[in-house]
Amino acid sequence: MTGPARSDQAGRTYLDLQNKARRENRPTQELLDLYVLEGFLTRLAASDARDSLVLKGGALLAAFGARRPTRDVDFLALDLDNDRATVLALAVRIAAIPMDDGLVFDADGARAELIRDDDEYSGVRVSMRCGLAQAELAFHIDVNIGDPVWPAPRLVEVPGLLHGSVRLLGYPVAAVHAEKIVTALQRGTLNTRWRDFADIYLLLARLNIDGGDLTRAIELVAAHRGVGLTPLADVLQGFPQIAQVRWAAWIRRQRLDDRLPGSFADLLADVCRFADPALRHKVASRRWDHTTMAWEASHPDNLGPS
């Protein structure tokens, strides 16, 4: 069987992604997976549902300059029934929008199931396949309903892997942090969601955060989930010794060892330095400065997205 050719859009796109992966020393499969998610987001932005789904999760990190590997695209749904048939129909309708990007979504083969994640929150997961040249790719669309978001969702711009960008509604940075911090509180030392710790670190190392927004966002998420606010350092005492081997394996498998601390103890120390003052309600009038990795007094020159 011959490989992809530049005689058609799908072949050109595949080869361009393959070349980009080689230049950046990333697996081709990783970029193919991300390109499928990008294709779905592009179709969402062109659909009449663009104001009904708010981007969150790993795919959103690209809008903040912190793109990482993922095969899932996560949304908060606004004004949508939380049942499988409704969410599946919406995902299929979005995927069916024609685009000149080489992607062929198998909307007819899509399936939906309920998500139940340790009773933290529930939602609907749509599993779908997509073709690009000779590649057959699988991805998930996870939709949650009813979660509080503070500050309000806003337009974000997700840069394309090869060209252009996609503008659509997304979580503000403070809301991203809040969900992941509260999840860390809930799971404690049983936590294996390494991506949450990675995402908190990647964002706190890149962006300034308003302390008032972060504090309020955490309060709302914690109240919604019925979680008491306790410093992470207390909840996760002794966790680095438990987590180190699995953390090292995860960042190696994700090929993120050049962007994240190899020591989980070091990473957790930075995460706690960021999160615990907010959990103690000590930073309402302060701002996180990513250049100093510390909470500083707010002033006009210390602005950044929250």
Q: Are residues 149 and 26 in the same domain?
A: yes
Please report the pLDDT score of residue 298 as a whole number: 78
Domain-embedded: residue 2: no
Residue where one domain finishes, among candidates 171, 206, 233: 171
Q: Which of 171, 203, 230 is the last residue of a domain?
A: 171
Q: Can you tell me the distance from the alpha carbon of 246 to that of 288, in angstroms, rounded to the nearest whole number?
A: 29
195 shares a domain with 164: no
Whether 148 maps to a domain, the answer reads yes
Q: 47 and 123 share a domain?
A: yes
pLDDT band at 119 (very low <50, low <70, confident <90, very high): very low
What pLDDT sits at residue 121? 52
Cβ distance 128 to 108 under 8 Å? no
The answer on pLDDT for 44 being more than 50 is yes
Long-range contacts made by residues 102-105, C-beta under 8 angstroms, separation at least 24? 102/8, 102/9, 102/10, 102/11, 102/12, 102/13, 102/14, 102/132, 102/133, 103/10, 103/35, 103/36, 103/39, 103/130, 103/131, 103/132, 104/10, 104/130, 104/131, 104/132, 105/39, 105/40, 105/129, 105/130
Q: Are residues 95 and 147 in the same domain?
A: yes
Specify the pTM: 0.91
Q: Which residues pair with 294 in a beta bridge?
A: 289
pLDDT in tens, 143-179: 999 899 999 999 999 999 999 999 999 999 999 999 9
Q: For residue 209, tell me if it sits in a domain.
A: yes
> In this predicted model, what pLDDT tens digit does every residue of 174-204 receive, in sequence order?
999 999 999 999 999 999 999 999 999 999 9
Q: Are residues 167 and 190 in the same domain?
A: no
Closest CA to 166 of 78, 87, 60, 95: 60
Which residue segment(s) compose the domain that 266 sits in?
175-297
Report long-range pairs for 240-243 (Cβ below 8 Å, ≥24 apart): 240/264, 240/265, 240/268, 242/189, 243/191
* Mean pLDDT taken over the chain: 93
Kindly indicate the confidence band of residue 304, based on its pLDDT and cuts at 50, 70 and 90: low
Pair (195, 250) in one structural domain: yes
Q: Is 3 domain-assigned?
A: no
Considering the domain architecture, whether residues 267 and 227 belong to the same structural domain is answered as: yes
Look at the chain and report how many structural domains it folds into. 2
Question: How far, in whole angstroms, is CA 304 from its chain's centroid?
Answer: 19
Task: Give the other-Cβ count within 10 Å of 237's Cβ.
Answer: 11
Backbone angles phi, psi at 100, to 5 degrees: -90, 60
Q: Which of 108, 140, 171 is the last residue in one of the domains?
A: 171
305 assigned to some structural domain = no
- Give the model confidence (pLDDT) of 86-106 as tens digits: 999 999 999 999 999 999 999
Cβ(269)–Cβ(201) below 8 Å: no
Does residue 22 lie within any of the structural domains? yes
Residue 4, in any domain of the structure: no
Q: Is there a single domain that holds both residue 126 and residue 215?
A: no
72 and 87 in a single domain? The answer is: yes
Chain segment 51-82, per-residue pLDDT in tens = 999 999 999 999 999 999 999 999 999 988 87
Q: Which residues of 77-93 are buried (b: 16+ CB within 10 A; e: fewer)?
A: beebeeeeebbbebbbe
Residues 128 and 41 in one domain: yes
270 and 192 in a single domain? The answer is: yes
Q: Do residue 137 and residue 190 come from a single domain?
A: no
